[in-house]
Structure 1
Amino acid sequence: MSCMNQMSSSDFILLGLLICSKNSLVFFSSVLLIFILIVTENTLLILLIHGDSQLCSPMYFLLKHLSFMDIFHISRIVPKIITNFLSGSRTISFAGCGFQIFLSLTLLGGKCLFLAVMPYNCYVAICHPLLYAKLMSDKVSVMMAAEFLLVVTLNSIVHTAHALHFPFCHCRTIDHFCEVPAMLKLSCVNTFRYEQGACVSSTIFLLIPYIMISASYVQILLIVFQTKSSEARKKFFSTCSFHMVVVVIYYGPFIFTYLGTKSYHTPGEDKFLAVFYTIPTPTLNPAIYSFRNKDVLKAMKTCSEVIFIIKGRKDA
C-alpha cells in the first residue's frame, strides 16, 4: 500500500543518513557541528585569500573556488537533513530531487577538475619555474575556471535530464539523498546503455584527473629526489602525503560509486561512500591545503593583529 501511495505522487522519500533511534539525536548534532565547521573554515579561507594581496597567486585562486564548491556541496545536503529531522517529513519533490542531482554532478565534477589542476600548478612551479608566469597566469587561471564550470554544468544538465527521464515503477524511496546511482536503482527499465555513457563521462571527470594528479606528483618527486636538500624532501613529503590522502578519500569512493553498473554495489554501500566523499574532504581541504601553509598562517596572524588593534581603539 505504501508503494502504491508513492507511485500516485511525484515526490520521493529520502531515508536519509539519520535512522530513527535513540542515537539519532547524537548523530544529528554531530552532522550539524560538522556542517558549521565546514562552512566556517572555508568561509574564513575565502575571506583571507580575498583580503590579503599576498595571496593572489593562481594556487590560492584555485583554493578559493575549491572552498566555494565545498560550501555549496555540503549545503545541498545538510539543510535538507536538518529540515527532515526537525519536521519528521522525509519527502522531497521531483524538482527538488532533480536540483540535488544537478548540484551534486556540477560540484563534484568541478571539484575533481580543480583538484587535478592544483598538483599541476605545483608541478609547473617546481619543474618549470621559468614558464610558470606564462602557463599559470591570472588570465589562464580565470579562463580555466570558467571552462571547467561550463563543462561540468553542461555535463550535469545532460545527466540530470536522463536520470529523471526514466520511468520509476518501484517505490520512490531513496536510501540517502538524490544522486544518479540512486535514481537508476528506482528505474524499472534497462539502463545499461545509459550507464555505459555515464561510465565514459565518469572516466573523463574521475580517472583522467586522477592520472594527472599522480603524474604531477611523480614528476615533482623525481625533481625533489635530485636535490640534496633534506629540508626540501621533508617539506614535500609532509605536504604532498596529506594531499594524496585527500585525493584518495575523495576519488576512491567517487570512482566506486559512479564507475560500474548499479548492480555492483548495494544501497548501504552507496550511503557509506556518499558520506565518505561528502563530509571528510570539505573538512580536511582548508586544513591540509591552506592552514598548514606559511603564507596563509601569516595572513591569519596579520588579520588577527588588525582586529586586535581596531578593538583596542574602540575600547579606548
Structure 2
Amino acid sequence: MILITGATGHIGSAVIERLLQLTAPGQVAGLVRDEAKAAGLKAQGVQIRVGDYNDPASLDQAMQGVTKVLLVSGGGDDDGLQQHYNVVDAAKKAGVGCLAYTSRALKNPDTLVNQLMVRHFQTEDYIRASGVPYILFRNILYMDTLPQFVGPQVFEKGIRLPAGQGRVSFALRRDMGEAIANVLADSRCDNRIFTFTGDATYSFADVAVALSELSGRPVEYHAIGQEAFAARLQAQGLPVGAIQRINGFLTDIKNSQEDTISSDLSDWLGRPPTPLKKGLKTIFKL
C-alpha cells in the first residue's frame, strides 16, 4: 500500500494519476483533510485516509497497513516544519518500510536567502535520523508557477522582477509527478536521492521571448531592484512577511540557486521533460 499525502493537491494528484496506471487502485491510498474533496479519487478506487499534518493521532490512523509513504511538503505555515516531523514520526511508529519526501533542488542550503526553503533540508535530516529507509525527490521550481511570478498583466506590462539574469531548469508538475510515481512503483527503497530538473536552464528573459513568440505580442523582461519590487507588492496590499519571502525566492534565483541540471527526471520519464516553450503554451493556453 502506497500512501500519498496532499492527495488532492497539484503534485499529489499527479503522482496518483500515474500510480493508477502502474498498480491496482486498491494499492494506492490518499491522505486528505477533507474527504468530500477526494470524491474523484475515491471513484477511481483510491483508498481515502483522512488526516492532518497537525493531528498526530489522525496520522497514526492513516498509516495503518501502509508500506510506503510519499510526504508531499506542506505550505508556508509557521509550524510547517513540525508538520513534516509529525508525518515522519507517524510513519516510523507504524513501521512503514519506505518514506519518500518532495524536497527542493537548490545548490547551497547554507546561502539561501529564502529561509522557508531551509525547512526542506531540515526535514531531510529528520528523515535520515528516523532510521526509516527513504527516497528524497529534490524538485526544481515548477514551471506551472510562472504565472504567479510574471503576474496577470504580463502581456500588457511585461515582466519586472529582481531576478537579474538568474536561470532556472524549470519542469512541469505533471512530469515530476509521473517520474515520482515511476520511482515509487519500483520495489527499491535504499536511501536514494533524485534531483528532478528540466534538461535546460532559462532566465526570465527567455520566458519573455517564449511568451512573445507564442502570443504574437511583445513581452519584455526588466531586471529591477528589490526595493522597487517590494514597493510594488506593498502597494498591492501584501504583508511584509510575504514580500520578504517572495523577494528572497527571486534573489535565490538571481544567485544561481535554481540552475542545476540533472538527467534524473528524463531517465525516470523515459523521455525528455517538457521544454519551456511547450510548457508555457499549455500553462498560458496559447
Q: TM-score, normalised by structure 1?
A: 0.26
State the TM-score, normalized to the length of structure 2: 0.28
Tell which structure's C-alpha radius of gyration is larger: 1
Task: Indicate the structure with greater helix content.
Answer: 1
Structure in which a larger fraction of residues adopt strand: 2
